[in-house]
Amino acid sequence: MQPPVLIVEDDIKLARIVKAYLEGADYRTVHASTMREAQDRIAEELPLAAILDLGLPDGSGEELCQTFKESGDFPVIMLTAKSSEEERIAGFALGADDYMVKPASPRELVCRLKAVLKRYERGSSSSDNVSSFNQGALVLNSLRHQISKDGAPVAVTPTEFKLLLTLASSPGRTFTRDELVSRALGYQFEGYDRSIDAHIKNLRQKIETDPRAPEFLKTVYGVGYLFAGEPDAL
């Protein structure tokens, strides 16, 4: 399943129009009307792209754009009433990939989204960013934070991606749970942390043909986990 386009817009009527046009162009969408909702959305699943209003009721869209760029590499199109040259330049300086001033044509927005995604696809196609395993059965793109299984996109959370990338970076190496907590979750833990087991279970449901007999994510009992995929020659 393809990741969704995140629409961050507090004008519900406008959000519905944008949603209708994007879904008419075969994009999945999710909507957030506040900064907090948008942060929760990207914690659940990294989007394909974000359409971002800058005037949000609980914070600035500019700050949210920086959060997006820190969370993962996906394109951001600012859709805003801020129209001065200085405001446009500031938007691009924050990392916006495109900038549209309201009122804007939803058809043009779809075209601009397609163009931005094509540029991202070209930029992320370098073999330095892509890891392929088992004759292309599983592919990880570290720049785009994307995974595909048998050619189909797999929707994962940022934590799940970090966990899989950590394991896949050293095929055959056993990582302890403490190591995985530190690398993937970003904190130290004294003792036994069940959260890693839950994340591994979720990943197996998403990337394994048979989660009960995993091909990629193996349990090393009493120690931790290892990645058993066979790297492809690129």
Can you tell me the distance from the alpha carbon of 104 to that of 209, in angstroms, rounded to the nearest whole number?
44
Higher pLDDT, 139 or 184: 139
Q: What is the pLDDT of residue 94?
A: 83
pLDDT in tens, 31-43: 999 999 998 888 8
Q: Which domains does the chain have, with CATH numbers?
A: 5-123 (3.40.50.2300), 130-227 (1.10.10.10)
Q: What is the pLDDT of residue 191?
A: 45
Q: What is the DSSP string of 20-59?
A: HHHHHTT--EEEESSHHHHHHHHHH---SEEEE-SEETTE
Can you tell me the distance from the alpha carbon of 233 to that of 116, in angstroms, rounded to the nearest whole number?
29
Residue 230 scores a pLDDT above 60: yes
Q: Looking at residues 95-109, what average pLDDT do you find?
A: 90
Residue 85 scores a pLDDT above 50: yes
Residue 167 scores a pLDDT above 80: yes
Q: Which two three-digit tokens encode residue 56?
A: 């949000």
Q: Looking at residues 153-173, what average pLDDT do you find?
A: 88
**Strand, helix or coil at 136?**
coil
